[in-house]
Amino acid sequence: MFDPAWLLVLLPLAAASGWYVAKRDTLRKQAQADFNLPSAYFKGLNFLLNEQPDKAIEVFIKVLEVDSETVEMHLTLGNLFRRRGEVERATRIHQNLIARPSLSKTQRIQALYELAQDYFKAGLFDRAESLFKELADIPAHAESALRYLSQLYEQEKEWDKAISALRQAEKLLGKDNSNIIAQYYCEMAELALSDKNTASAHEYIQQALQEDNQCTRAIILLGEVQYRDGDYRAAVQTWRTIEQQDPQFLSEIIDKLLDAYRRLDDDQALENFLDESLDKIRSPKLLIAKVKELRGKRGHDNAEEFLTNWLSENPSITGFRYLMELRKADKEKMTDRDRILDNVLANTIDNNTGYICQRCGFSGRSMHWHCPGCKGWTTIKPIDETHSFAR
């Protein structure tokens, strides 16, 4: 027969056993969660390292369904959406984060920084400007915020504000931005020239040269101002300094430089300039200018002979194409082989002349002082057609 006294002993044991089993189950589930969450983190990071952002996003979204309070995961996910071009989703994530009252000061600043980048990427420059100005006063984000501000003002063509942002960066970080600031002044000089205000353009050019006395663009613009004001001798002297400083850009102003010589009515000085410069620089544009001068003064045959001899030692696609133009003018000299060669050169010249960015490889037919590809200043140079001109 069952003794009730045993019941008094077994009931506490049963209760203790039930508590132990429940506690063990809770600990097991907690341990499993603690194990699975970092596992998901590493899985997502692995996808990122293997440049698989779509799969990384899927993993991180699943983690957020389990742990919606993970601030770092929200920041990572928003960053991924922005990189993938889904700026609206990135903005929504970062705005929701900032709305949380539980964020620490550091977390809130980081979320503001991410949101500012969202606005910048979306073209909402007023909002981005406001946030980046706030972040510029925070040492940890000052450099990046000021860089974004200068880029923002570049896009808005607010050159005074862009200069101010770079000046602030110089004071805070001790970084020399004089070469970029010189470009900003050149931008303002070009705007003044487009309004035919040579006086204001001259002031901006002088400020550019104070920032960077080796600024080739400023020297080109200074010669342009002098040329427009009718001071052709000064323009010639200014432009010729490019020969020593940055000779590859002499071809950019060659037509106006030759015109300035002609306006001075000094044919001998013009001829001497072409001979001296061509011997030092050997630019295809200078070569053609020389041939045109010869053709005008000494006749077609003399010009063609000079060009043929020159090309035999200094091959140039542009030069060969111009030789074909000369031969076309004399139909008796133009053979079927010459016509085939002319067509080949016409198809080739577009790929071997023009300009190329030394940083990102962007190429084009027009000169840009600000690369449309990498946004670098003064990184674009004229393409060297043959590399044989360098001595």
pLDDT in tens, 326-366: 877 766 666 666 666 666 666 555 555 688 999 998 988 88
Position 209: which residue type?
L
For residue 168, pLDDT over 70 is answered with yes
153 pLDDT band, cuts 50/70/90, is very high
Is there a contact between 289 and 297 (Cβ–Cβ < 8 Å)? no
% of the chain at pLDDT higher than 70 = 74
CA distance 330 to 339: 13
What are the residues facing 382 on neighbouring strands?
A: 355
CA 247 to chain centre: 24
Q: Which helix (H) or strand (E) holds 382?
A: strand 380-382
Q: Residue 256: its pLDDT value, please?
A: 93
What CA–CA distance (Å, rounded) separates 100 from 115? 14
Q: Token pair for residue 6?
A: 């045993």
Please determine, for residue 142, whether its predicted confidence score (pLDDT) is greater than 60: yes
**Which residues sit opposite 60 in a β-bridge?**
none
Q: Is the pLDDT of residue 39 over 80?
A: no
Longest dimension (CA), the chain: 138
| Alpha carbon distance 343, 334 (integer Å) | 13
Residue type, 5: A
Residue 358: partners with Cβ closer than 8 Å, 6 or more residues away: 379, 380, 381
Would the pLDDT of 211 be above 60?
Answer: yes
Residue 215 is classified by DSSP as -
Residue 381's φ and ψ, nearest 5 degrees, are -130, 155
3-state secondary structure of 297: helix
Quickly list H helices, the chain.
4-49, 53-66, 71-83, 87-98, 105-122, 125-135, 139-156, 159-173, 178-194, 198-211, 216-228, 232-240, 242-245, 254-263, 267-280, 284-298, 300-313, 317-329, 336-352
Q: What is the arithmetic mean of pLDDT over 18-42?
A: 49
For residues 295-316, average pLDDT: 86
